[in-house]
Amino acid sequence: MAKSFYISAIGQLAGKPAAAAAVLSLAARKNSGRAAIFKPVALSREDPALQATVSGAGLPGELAAYYGLTRPEVFTLLAQGREGVILDTVFQKYKALAGGFDSLIIEGLDLVPTGGALANLDAAIAANLGSPVLLLAEDCGCGASLETSALAVQAYKNRFAEVLALAILSKNPVQAEPGREPAPLAGVQVWTIPAPADLAAQLEKACGGLGQFQPKAMTPKRFEFDLIEKARVDRQHIVLPEGNDERILRAADDILEKDFAALTILGEPDAIRKRARDLGLSSLLAKAQLIDPQSSELLPELSQAFFELRKAKGVTEEQAAAQMKDRNFFGTMMIKLKKADGMVSGADGTTAATIRPALSIIKTKPGCSIASSVFLMCLADRVWVFGDCAINPNPTPQQLAEIAIISAQTARAFGVDPKVAMLSYSTGESGTGPDVDLVVEATKIARESAEKLFPGLPIDGPLQFDAAVDPKTGASKMPGSPVAGQATVMIFPDLGAGNIGYKAVQRTAKAVAIGPVIQGLNAPVNDLSRGTLVADIVNTVAITALQAIADK
């Protein structure tokens, strides 16, 4: 069976706990007893139904290990508009439990069919866990069960949860005429089951391929969770030069609490500790390394190394010593001397202030003529990669091709299957002019490079944005293209188009834009926008850690 299987009920269905227990028993038989129950939202800390299931299955440990939050806790957080905190907590508890079992049967909420806060939350939890959903409904004898259940299925689909089956518990069901089922039930198995006790047998027959289930949707939360989980496997040492910024300190506390990176924060240590105490940041106080670039004992070593690196460019020892007191140069030289693995800066500085030290000290990788950037655009159900949106104003065809190849490599490193669209205001041969010619030439060079560096990489262009991402438009404008209508990596022809494009998608589609992620350097240094949020900093540190892992 799948790693997890999500069971929810439409309304107060008394048979749901029994059904969950039956499926748990099935999973245990298939996995030699290594299956457990998990309830994202328990009735209380002593949830009697959950306790009965845990005890009946002989599961070890405290009851608290088998649920995320209690209903009172969830209601409080929902009233505060903090659904993200609920999802984070549930996912962390789920991950902690999943490490010890082959399968988890997740018992979701009882909910009203057409939506509401709890229904939306239940669907969001299922989608973010990537679990196939079984919805249970009970035929009330009024003949409306199928239509009512279809509304619930649609509510789940609206939040990108993937409903595998709808099980209607009824001895005398009223079924729709063949071919005239309600539209939301398209692609959903509909089972009619006389009693909850028969559910496990139905599952045994109907979902033998459940173990191969792969969720189609990638939610922003799950993408962020995956980044952090991957970073935690091999904790890297990241420098945060802006210890004067409250957002940096709050993000650092969260990172250290989640324990996926070691951190050095630059700034005056006593001032940072006082600010951390005032903000209640206990993890930062206990775990962060604090260094003042103005007086650090590392200054002589870093200054001498910088002098040796730049003396051919006319830098004197005095100039090198002065330059090392700059927080970004200090942090970058720490990376150069292997005292750290990466750096994240820019919350209260310019992109140039972050990137310039990296280009002069770390430099670009062999084969990379330029550094470039991408944004990871996390939409409601997928992740796109946009490049270059932050660094190169007017790339040449050769540079644009290089950006395309390295952006595809970045996409794959973060779990996105790369299909590269070289964007333009024209698709195929429909337009002419210097700007189109540039993309035509860049596409040709990128394809030739891919044969050597990235065999099998799908690249096509010129493509308009709609032809790149919409299947019907792509098939109409560029029939037979391996990219049109299914692109995941969008390469913009210049910085103006890229910056406008990512901000337009971020604001109108409410996408989570992670980045800019800097590509092509010998070690990872990433830039933050001055409007960055705490969550953005946490994500960027996770990405920087993963880049450092990939470089080793």
80 and 187 part of one domain: yes
Nearest CA to 4 among 213, 187, 190? 213
- Cβ density class 456-465: b for 16+ within 10 Å, e for less: ebbbbbbbbb
Per the omega criterion (within 30 degrees of 0), is the bond before 462 cis?
Answer: yes
Residue type present at position 542? A
My answer on whether 416 and 516 are in the same domain is yes
Q: Strands (DSSP E) along 289-425, which ranges?
A: 289-291, 342-345, 372-378, 383-387, 420-423
* Inside any domain, residue 330: yes
Q: In what order do the strands lie in the sheet with 189-193?
A: 67-70, 35-42, 103-111, 4-10, 132-138, 162-169, 189-193
CATH code assigned at 57: 3.40.50.300
In angstroms, the CA 330 to CA 196 distance is 65
Residue at 20 is within a domain: yes
Strands 261-266 and 236-240, sheet pairing: parallel
Task: Report the pLDDT value the prediction gives residue 1, as an integer from 0 to 100.
Answer: 39
Answer whether residue 450 is part of any domain. yes
Do 36 and 136 share a domain, yes or no? yes
CB 237: neighbour CB atoms within 10 A? 18
Domain harbouring 490, CATH code: 3.40.50.10750
Mark whether 134 and 179 lie in a shared domain. Answer: yes
Residue 249 is inside which H or E element, if any?
helix 246-258
Please return the burial class of 521, using the count of CB atoms within 10 Å of its CB with bins 0-12, 13-18 and 19+: buried
Residue 427 inside a domain? The answer is yes
- Nearest CA-CA partner of 515 in 548, 543, 550, 546: 543
Residue 278: asked if its preceding bond is cis (omega within 30°), the reply is: no
Residue 178's pLDDT is 53
Which stretches within 289-396 are classed as H helix? 299-310, 317-323, 327-336, 351-357
Q: Which of 189, 216, 243 is the last residue of a domain?
A: 216
- Give domain status of residue 420, yes or no: yes
Residue-wise DSSP of 503-528: HHHHHHS--EEEEEEEESBSS-EEE-
The domain that holds 253 is classified in CATH as: 3.40.50.10950
Instruction: Please report the pLDDT score of residue 141 as a whole number.
Output: 53
Task: Please identify, among 174, 201, 216, the residue that sits at the C-terminal boundary of a domain.
Answer: 216
CB contact at 8 A, 235 and 545: yes
Structural domain range at position 269: 223-362
**Co-location of 26 and 150 in the same domain:** yes
- What's the total number of domains in the chain? 3
Do 353 and 486 fall into the same domain?
A: no
Is 542 inside a domain boundary? no
List Cα–Cα distances, 255 to 169, 317, 334, 472, in angstroms.
46, 37, 20, 42
Q: Mark whether 62 and 111 lie in a shared domain.
A: yes
546 inside domain: no
In terms of domains, do 72 and 123 share one? yes
131 and 16 in a common domain: yes
**SS3 category, 209:** coil
End-to-end CA distance of the chain: 36
Instruction: Tell me: do 60 and 99 sit in the same domain.
Output: yes
Run means of pLDDT, 10 residues per run, the chain, 552 residues: 71 59 60 77 89 86 92 90 87 84 80 61 85 75 62 79 76 55 69 66 57 64 85 94 94 92 95 92 90 93 92 89 93 95 92 90 89 91 91 94 94 91 89 88 94 90 94 92 95 95 89 88 91 89 93 80
